[in-house]
Amino acid sequence: MSSILNSLPPNLAKIVQRFQRATDPKRRYEQLIWYGQKLKEFPEADKISENKVPGCVSQVYITAALADDKVIFQGDSDSQLTKGLVGLLIEGLNELTPAEIVQLTPDFIQETGLNVSLTPSRANGFYNIFKTMQKKALECQN
């Protein structure tokens, strides 16, 4: 078990382990798409520029709200794989405190092996989504 896994929040560690078990890139993609399918319906009303993730080739939207000092994210994308990345991040980061989210680094993507399968623009999109979620988590505190 790598030290990165130990430092991750439990949900995120579980996701990373799930991807580590899927050694075949095709399985990883299927896994990713599954996370996208698990996402709750994203309200059309929230598809506004403030919720749009900058620097993504596809349309990606993220919202964050605070409930009992924990951040609850919602998200959507018009691309199946990007939606999977959104789903993965939401599953991994939901119900953490803003402080926990802000201190995370996106390095765990390497542990999943996904970074190898992702095109540069998708990998870049992943980082942009991650950074947007951190920014929104911080905004929740105010």
Residue 44 pLDDT > 60: yes
Mean pLDDT score across all residues of the chain: 92
Query: With bands split at pLDDT 50, 70 and 90, how would you rate the model's confidence at 2?
Result: low
CB of 42 within 8 A of CB of 74? yes
**Angstrom distance (rounded) from CA 100 to CA 84:** 22
Measured in Å, how far apart are the chain's first and last C-alpha atoms?
Answer: 37
What is the percent of the chain where pLDDT is above 70?
A: 98
Per-residue confidence (pLDDT) for residue 42, from 0 to 100: 97
Residue 142 pLDDT > 70: no
Query: With bands split at pLDDT 50, 70 and 90, how would you rate the model's confidence at 77?
Result: very high
Catalytic residue flag (residue 140) = no
Tens of pLDDT, residue by residue over 113-141, are: 888 878 888 889 999 999 999 999 999 88
Cβ neighbours of residue 64 closer than 8 Å, sequence gap 6 or more:
71, 72, 73, 74, 133, 136, 137, 139, 140
Chosen CATH of 3-141 out of 3.40.50.2300, 3.30.70.60, 3.40.50.300, 3.90.1010.10:
3.90.1010.10
Query: Which position among 13, 16, 56, 71 bears the catalytic label?
Result: 56
Nearest to 128 by CA among 32, 53, 48: 53
Residue 1 pLDDT > 80: no
**What is the CB neighbour count within 10 angstroms for residue 58?**
17
